[in-house]
A and B are shown apart, each in its own frame.
Chain A
């Protein structure tokens, strides 16, 4: 566990081929800086695949969308992969509503589901 501050904390899992950040708690304007610091530190390690897991968040708003899209841009520029886990609740509904789910590599789609 790392990066505990206020209502957001981040759990890291590292394998040779991927680095996974599980965001927990609440992601909003107040806690965005914590999340961004963790993502930046992960990006600095240049993992072949960076996974942002949002399923542990009790609350996430459009700042979460911003975090994911900025990370996607960084990964694309570095020719690395970025993937997300969105769950199947309000977080996923928000990404779907914004038309963004289909533009991401989503690891927790159900069998046969199209983003």
Chain B
């Protein structure tokens, strides 16, 4: 991260909740006093301690996770955080900043993988891309009792600053998101069973037919007109990406039920980037917008590579 980047990402390992809040009090108090957006994604015991510390000022704190509902996709969690923060905090349009407290035991929800260190690592590395440029201070909280070898490694890899005692210090073991995601890549999405429809596409001339099929699936699922338009654009961008930058051909599979649609694109190419569509595109850049757009237009977008190529899963609807 450059020194000019307003985004800060810190981690703190804590032994008890009262000590944690005492450590964070200067940042917390300053954020509340300034009127920053303060978001605490913490469990109930920590929430009680934060509320006790802030007293009446706690009414200005939003408790919960910006990225709810959770999914299996750490990329999506990071992208949602960025989107919700932009929407709710009007960040970047003025002087307002945001402080997020994120308890690693709550990120990802209550599923069996939700607290797995590698999931947390994907979320953190993805946040380092998705939140860059935003006036956000993200503090990841890790209970000392939960620190394993993996947790400790990923904590050091993903946080440019760590609390040592009561002070935040630069972390010399920090790694770039590209490095982290190359070492701890996004896992495959959960299996879905046979698709309701599957088709192949080859070359740019296939794009019009892909859009026609996409509109049919979106309308068939009963999505709104705006959702269908967004779905057509998102799938169009992703298939176009596969054609231009992947193998040039692939398959598009659909799982459709009333109100919900899942699409998955597969091609035998391999991504050259570990960080697809997480960083908001530079407004001056002529290229590199398609995957980011697809993320904004979907509820879940998960991209992973394996020995058989690259997979992109998009989910939209309730």
A binding-site residues for B, Cβ under 8 Å: 7, 26, 28-30, 59, 61-63, 65-66, 69-70, 73, 89-90, 94, 97-100, 103
> Per a CB cutoff under 8 Å, which of B236, B283, B289, B293 touches A28?
B236
A103 contacts B283, C-beta separation under 8 Å? yes
Bound CA span A63–B240, Å: 10
Interchain CB contact under 8 A, B236 and A98: no
Main secondary structure of the interface of B (DSSP, over half): helix
Q: Give the residues in chain B near A66, CB-CB below 8 Å.
A: 286-287
Q: How far is the CA of A7 from the CA of B205 in the complex (A)?
A: 10
- 8 A Cβ contacts from B214-255 to A: 229-230, 232-233, 236-237, 240, 243-244
The number of chain B residues with a CB under 8 A from chain A is 25
**Interface membership of B188, Cβ < 8 A:** no
Q: Is the CB of B240 within 8 A of A61?
A: yes
Considering only residues 277-301 of chain B, those with a C-beta below 8 Å from chain A are 280-281, 283-287, 289-290, 293, 296
B287–A90 contact, CB under 8 A? no
Kindly list chain B residues whose C-beta atoms are within 8 Å of the C-beta of A26.
Answer: 208, 211
Once the chains are docked, how many angstroms separate the CA of A7 from the CA of B229? 18
Rounded to whole angstroms, the CA-CA distance of A106 and B289 in the bound complex is 21
What is the bound-complex CA distance between A89 and B230, given in angstroms? 11
Q: Once A and B bind, how many residue pairs between them come within 8 Å at the CB atom?
A: 57
Q: In the complex, given contacts A89-B229, A98-B283, A99-B283, what are 6 additional A-B residue pairs having Cβ atoms less than 8 angstroms apart? A: A7-B208, A59-B211, A61-B236, A69-B284, A69-B285, A73-B286
B204 at the A/B interface (Cβ < 8 Å)?
A: yes
Q: Max chain B CB contacts within 10 Å: which of A30, A70, A73, A103? A: A30
Decide: A98 near B289, CB < 8 A? Known: A28-B204, A59-B211, A59-B232: yes
A49 to B76 Cα, complex, angstroms: 42
> With A and B bound together, what is the CA distance between A7 and B208 in angstroms?
9
Please state if A100 and B283 are interface contacts (CB–CB under 8 Å): yes
Known contacts A28-B236, A29-B243, A98 near B204 by CB under 8 Å: no
Q: Are A62 and B293 in touch, CB under 8 angstroms?
A: yes
Establish whether residues B233 and A70, one from each chain, have CB atoms under 8 Å apart when the complex forms.
Answer: no
Known: A30-B205, A30-B208, A61-B233. A98 touches B293 (CB 8 A): yes
* A30–B248 alpha-carbon span in the complex (Å): 13
Chain B residue at smallest Cβ distance from A70: B286
Q: What is the chain A residue whose CB lies nearest that of B234? A: A61
A94 in complex: contacting residue of B211, B233, B285, CB < 8 Å: B233
Residues of A within 8 A of B240 (CB): 28-29, 61, 63
Contact yes or no, B207 A28, CB < 8 A:
yes
Q: Is the CB of A98 within 8 A of B205?
A: no
State whether B289 touches A59 (Cβ < 8 A).
Answer: no
Question: Using Cβ atoms and an 8 Å threshold, which residues of chain A touch B229?
Answer: 89-90
Query: Measured between alpha carbons, how far is A115 from B105 in the docked complex, in Å?
Result: 41
